[in-house]
Amino acid sequence: MEKLAIHLALHGVVVLTVSVLAGLFLYRSILKNKNKADWHLVHAGGSARGIMLIALAATINLPALPLWLLSALVWLIIFFTWTSTLAMLIRAFTGEKGFNYIGPKANKLVYTLYAIGTIAIFPALLLLIFGLIKTLSMQP
């Protein structure tokens, strides 16, 4: 379980670093008055995702789940974090929003990354909720 916590913390810090670097691009876009919203999304969204992983690292020992389910939970959340972070980065660099699967390849890629990440996060959150409820039910 400690190794899962380390993975969560490591990925969290790397995503947080990516979002801090995106803050530099945000600053540049503010100065040039271009593409501010997309860089702000990467900066804020990446920060939130990185902090989420770091917080989860500190609490991953709480859900009462077998190791294989806990591992699935962790890797699904890490997968979601990276797919959405990459989608936001591609969006910021290209301006493609990814709201539907049409248009340029970059738009299709952003859409696909958001879609598969969204699909991955729901079972992860359900596992987390189930594991925490199970832990609560075992408490006196």
The per-residue pLDDT for range 49-70, each reduced to its tens digit, is 999 999 999 999 999 999 999 9
What integer best gives the mean pLDDT of the chain? 96
Cα–Cα dist 90/106, whole Å: 7
Where are the domains positioned within the chain?
A: 2-137
Task: From 98, 100, 69, select the one nearest 83 (Cα to Cα).
Answer: 98
By CB atoms closer than 10 A (0-12, 13-18, 19+), residue 122 is exposed
State the DSSP H helix or E strand holding residue 20, giving kind and residue range, or none if neither: helix 2-32
At 5-32, the pLDDT tens digits run 999 999 999 999 999 999 999 999 999 9
Q: What is the pLDDT of residue 57?
A: 97
129 Cβ neighbours under 8 A, 6+ residues apart? none
Whether this prediction's pTM lies above 0.75 is answered by yes
